[in-house]
Amino acid sequence: MFEQFAGLRKEAELFFRTLQDEITTTLEIVDGAGKFRQDLWERPGGGGGRTRIMAEGRVFDKAGVNWSAVHGDSPQNPDLKFFATGISLVLHPRSPKIPTIHANFRFLQNSSGDAWFGGGIDLTPYYLDEDDAHEFHLKLKVACDRHDIGYYPRFKKWCDEYFYIKHRGETRGIGGIFFDQLGGNERELDKIFLFVQEMGQTFLPAYVPIVEKHRGDSYSEEEERWQLLRHGRYVEFNLVYDKGTVFGLETNGRTESILMSLPTLARWEYDMQPKAGSPEAKLLDVLRNPREWATIT
């Protein structure tokens, strides 16, 4: 393994592993019934990880929180070696009134001397609560602003553009932030790492209040059906466009861990169109026309 940034590699690996512990412990408390199953795995070629999955909990139908630290030959250039460590998580609630959420944070380095951080947090509601959307984005903005006032608008736009289902003409959800290949020299990387750590610590405060607010909401079979249709859109994005999924498969990552982001159930219907003025149509309008949620009015 190359020696440059050796200290940062160790710090990032430890932070992501510790963050996995904090998040899974809290989610078990929030769920109240479900427990995470842990699988330790090794990657052919170097490294490995811990995959933790909660299935059929009281609140979460499926929750996956994965940590890994892997290394070996670069899939883009066999002459280079790479190292990657990070945490990736997706939570799919039972209730259509509680949004799905995704987050990931990662550090990558190759033997040519390049090193960078990437990641983000994004929210995928099935029924739009504008207050939730505002508070979620505002918490992300406040955390971003503590490091660089330009981060939130830049990364919010990046998120809307990245999580875009081109063949549907809509975003996967109401966004959040997304960033990639933030790198530079050691001093710059240290500053970016502080930002990444704060964003990782922002995940639970940004999401858990939304879960608690809606965990007792009632819902109908039709609302469940709509949730399954939106699950289908989630699957389409992850399998067609998501770069993390492609990278994991190309680097011989553990398939079960890579595909943990997919919901347990999904549905597709031919040319399904919601009724004009319905809550479903309201959500679609936002997905087709992203808003500036963090604006204070």
Do residues 51 and 39 touch, judged by C-beta distance below 8 A?
A: yes
What phi and psi, each to the nearest 5 degrees, are found at residue 20? -60, -45
Burial of 78 (0-12, 13-18, 19+ CB in 10 A): exposed
Q: What distances in angstroms separate CA 265 from CA 23, 62, 231, one per listed residue?
A: 24, 10, 7
The Cβ of residue 112 has, within 10 Å, a number of other Cβ atoms equal to 14
Q: Which of 67, 52, 65, 64 is nearest to 12 (CA)?
A: 67
What pLDDT shows up at residue 75?
Answer: 74
Res 1: pLDDT: 59
Q: Give the per-residue pLDDT at 90.
A: 98
| pLDDT < 70 regions, the chain | 1, 296-297
Residue among 49, 109, 42, 43 at smallest CA distance from 74: 109
Give the CA count within 13 Å in the CB-facing half-sphere of 203: 29
What is the amino acid identity at position 289?
A: N
**Burial grade of 64 (CB within 10 A; 0-12, 13-18, 19 or more):** buried
Task: Dump pLDDT digits (tens) for 161-205.
Answer: 999 999 999 999 999 999 999 999 999 999 999 999 999 999 999
Distance, in Å, from the CA atom of 286 to the CA atom of 281, rounded to the nearest integer, reads: 9
Residues annotated as catalytic (active site), given as ranges = 102
pLDDT of residue 77: 79
Q: Give the position of tokens 């809606």.
A: 214
85-117 pLDDT, tens digit each: 999 999 999 999 999 999 999 999 998 889 999
What is the gyration radius of the CA atoms in the chain, in angstroms? 19
d(CA 93, CA 216): 12
Which CATH superfamily hosts domain 6-288?
Answer: Coproporphyrinogen III oxidase, aerobic (3.40.1500.10)
